[in-house]
């Protein structure tokens, strides 16, 4: 029985348009072709955002924007920068909050006052005429405070830990030496340390020029954060600097150990080559001479 011509044409069309199979996957979806994106394309897409998304916004916002770039590109180098950045941001941010608590006796007021307007509206009553504020204690305000702490934990240490876990899991899958020391040696390379530091200073230079028309490596001002005073900036910069100092010291220590191991291997090779060859006693030779 002959098949209808239309059925044969449909089968041929299906064979011609069938998506090729990939190892470990039945079909290739559209996102497999467009993701991950090249880094320049991802940066170009983010540049289309309104300036309010990155100007007069905290360094944590730039951390989140870089996280978006990593999500789009899946670049390992960017992930390493995010890990070091996340550690520095968490240490600086919580040091600033601790300073407000112990010095100004205001527990997490900096956190509450810098939340989005939709959340801050229920927690804080601003008095613009006297440049003061009141922290509300209603049930709604308490709920918003809890939400603030949850968002702060997820957006700062939570995100930094997520990037570390992603990197450590991939590192253990692709390397035999999978201890934590080796993972941190892989993360804290000179390229990562230098790039992360320059990125943080770029944030300061952009905002110092935008708000004061002068380029400075460290920015101080009330244009970004709502603070009782500018001491929080100083504390955050000091703690961030200490974070980079520790990373540099560890890198120097690891490099010194590597150089020591290389020199030791070279010395062993040279010592072996300098030794004269030993005479080997052959039993066969002795037996031969004894028969003569």
Q: How far apart are CA 72 and CA 155, in angstroms?
A: 18
Contact 60, 159 (CB under 8 A): no
Residues forming a β-bridge with 25: 22
User: What pLDDT, on a 0 to 100 scale, did the predictor assign at position 163?
Assistant: 97
Per-residue pLDDT at 278: 58
Q: What SS3 state is found at 287?
A: helix
Asked if residue 70 has pLDDT above 80, the reply is yes
**DSSP-assigned letters across all residues of 144-181:** HHHHHHHHHHIIIIIHHHHHHHHHHHHHHHH-S--SHH
pTM of this structure? 0.80
Average pLDDT of the chain is 84
Query: 171: which 2 tokens?
Result: 């590192």
**Quick check: 284 pLDDT over 60?**
no
**% of the chain surpassing 90 pLDDT:** 64
Residue 15 has pLDDT above 50, yes or no: no
Measured distance CA(242)–CA(123) in Å, rounded: 34
Band of pLDDT at residue 175, cut at 50, 70 and 90: confident
Q: What is the mean pLDDT of residues 205-220?
A: 95
178 touches 34 (CB < 8 A): no
What is residue 263's predicted lDDT score, i.e. its pLDDT?
73
Residue 25's region, left for phi above 0, alpha for psi from -120 to 50, else beta, is beta
Quick: pLDDT tens for 72-93: 999 999 999 999 999 999 999 9
Q: 134 - beta bridge partners?
A: 125
Share of the chain above pLDDT 70, in %: 79
């Amino acid at each position: 029985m002959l098949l209808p011509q239309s059925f044969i044409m449909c089968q041929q069309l299906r064979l011609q348009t069938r998506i090729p199979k990939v190892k470990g996957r039945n079909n290739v979806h559209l996102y497999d072709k467009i993701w991950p994106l090249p880094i320049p394309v991802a940066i170009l897409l983010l540049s289309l955002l309104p300036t309010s998304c990155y100007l007069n916004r905290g360094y944590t916002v730039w951390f989140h924007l870089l996280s978006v770039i990593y999500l789009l590109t899946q670049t390992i180098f960017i992930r390493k920068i995010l890990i070091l950045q996340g550690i520095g941001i968490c240490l600086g941010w919580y040091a600033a909050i601790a300073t407000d608590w112990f010095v100004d006796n205001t527990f997490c007021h900096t956190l509450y006052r810098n939340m989005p307007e939709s959340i801050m509206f229920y927690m804080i009553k601003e008095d613009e005429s006297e440049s003061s504020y009141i922290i509300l204690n209603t049930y709604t305000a308490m709920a918003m405070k809890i939400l603030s702490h949850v968002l702060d934990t997820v957006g700062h240490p939570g995100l930094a830990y997520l990037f570390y876990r992603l990197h450590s899991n991939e590192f253990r899958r692709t390397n035999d030496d999978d201890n934590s020391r080796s993972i941190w040696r892989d993360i804290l390379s000179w390229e990562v340390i230098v790039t992360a530091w320059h990125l943080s200073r770029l944030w300061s230079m952009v905002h110092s020029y935008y708000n004061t028309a002068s380029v400075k490596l460290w920015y101080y001002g009330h244009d970004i954060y709502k603070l009782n005073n500018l001491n929080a900036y100083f504390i955050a910069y000091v703690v961030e600097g200490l974070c980079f100092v520790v990373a540099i010291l560890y890198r120097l220590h690891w490099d010194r150990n590597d150089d020591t191991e290389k020199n030791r291997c070279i010395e062993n090779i040279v010592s072996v080559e300098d030794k004269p060859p030993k005479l080997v006693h052959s039993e066969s030779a002795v037996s031969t001479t004894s028969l003569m």
